[in-house]
Structure 1
């Protein structure tokens, strides 16, 4: 059996376990469903279940590990000359594609999560890793630029705020799509949402807090003074500001 076949079979087994779990949770209830029942419904042994998932909570979210790796790859492969906001927006697209790839499962799972608080909390913990990935990328970019001469103590804050904004936009569009039963134009809506975020963050990015050189503004007005008197007045005013 070649490696491709093995990987395909593993992915199918993961998906079969997830499909079985979602169906049983919906039909019987989350608390009433056991790991043994999920494994039996998927046609595998109990020990096979635990080779793929640590608990029945994890089985609901089969693709997040792979998707997180894909997001990390997008960030790692980005060029140093690319706009960091564009890069993290490209990264968050990987998450949306994961949900859209199996719309029926995603919609069914969405309705299930609304009914089971434990799963909803588990989802929040799982999804938060994307925000951490994006924030870490922004901060690492900022630190590399700091090493080249620029500096700001605000960059950790700005990195987290920017990452949170991008993830919030994604989650807003995702919820709208799930509520529509997977029928809305999610690609256009996400691109629109991210464009709004990029515009809003244009002057509030990981570079926005960089210390800028002081700017001297000179105002010229008709005062009736001679040029030498005006120069003396400017010098006196500047001296008073030191």
Structure 2
């Protein structure tokens, strides 16, 4: 096996799949590094050089995925708010393409506390990448706006991702796009026309009429508008 083969994204995904299969069949604690390496067709030494540990290998595809997220953010043509939504779609599509693997991984992770903690850390890495990107591209935007926007985007994405893995037929990429558009409108982060956030059709669906007594404060008006936009 050549170095190029070992370093390829396809090979790493195969090792992830083999490790999850073994964990599912024999249990996480009972599966050895030697078994994973043998199933993947590599030496024990190569395994440790490429993946580090059993805990690392089950999330190894996230390293490649984080790279794809960074590339999407860097190359997106449009406003930065929309770029974050496009990057969230990249993550969703990755797991949607191989839902069976995602299901088996979720089952393994649920049974091992250390893996659940590691999964949370991995989730925060995506959130951190989104926040760092927006702070860099929008230096004059109040940090609290960026944090609120990213938290809403990642929270919605993660919820629908979990629902998709559990078999919810309504948890689709199109549903994700609609919900992310609602968040963008509610938080005032409207993107350029043609972007995930700025899709004219989605924005037209968010037209809201709010009435209020004369003298109502701007903050109260904003609160009422946000409440209306959150309604189904």
Is the Cα–Cα contact under 8 Å of residues 68 and 130 in structure 1 kept in the other structure? yes
- Answering whether residue 116 of structure 2 is matched by residue 129 of structure 1, we say no
For 2:70 and 2:131, locate their aligned partners in 1 and report how far apart those are by CA, in whole Å.
11
Q: 1:18 touches 1:59 (CA, 8 Å); kept in 2? A: yes
Does the 8 Å CA contact 1:63/1:98 hold for their aligned counterparts?
no
Question: Within the alignment, does 1:93 sit opposite 2:89 as a pair?
Answer: yes
Q: Residue 203 of structure 1: CA displacement?
A: 6.8
1:75 and 1:88 in contact (8 A); partners too: yes
Report the Cα distance in structure 1 between the residues aligned to 2:13 and 2:69, rounded to whole angstroms: 21
Displacement, 1:196? 2.0
Q: Does the 8 Å contact 2:156/2:180 carry over to 1?
A: yes
- For the 8 Å contact 1:136–1:159, the answer to whether it is kept is no
Task: Describe the shift of the 1:38–1:45 C-alpha distance in structure 2 as closer, same or farther (beyond 3 A).
Answer: same
Q: Deviations over 1:59-117 (max 9, x none)?
A: 111221121111112222234xx333211101111111211222211111112211112
Q: Give me the TM-score of the superposition, normalised by structure 2.
A: 0.73
Unaligned runs of 5+ in 2: 192-232
Q: Is 1:193 matched with 2:183?
A: no
Structure 1: gaps of 5 or more residues? 147-151, 206-242
Task: Using CA pairs under 8 Å that are at least 6 residues apart, name the structure with larger relative contact order, 1 or 2.
Answer: 2
Mapped contact 2:58–2:105 kept (Cα < 8 A) = yes
Say whether the 8 Å CA contact 1:26–1:112 is kept in structure 2: yes
Q: Secondary structure at the match of 1:57?
A: helix
Q: How does 1:122-161 map onto structure 2 within 5 Å?
A: 122-143=118-139, 146=140, 155-161=142-148
Distance 1:137 1:171 in 2: 19
TM (norm. structure 1) is: 0.71
Q: Please tell me whether Structure 1 or Structure 2 has the larger radius of gyration of its CA atoms.
A: 1
Match of 1:113 in 2: 109
SS of residue in 2 equivalent to 1:120: helix
Query: Are 1:173 and 2:171 counterparts?
Result: no
Q: Structure 1 residue 11 and structure 2 residue 6: aligned?
A: no
CA–CA separation in structure 2 for the residues paired with 1:123 and 1:49: 21
Runs of 4+ in 1 over 4 A off after TM superposition: none
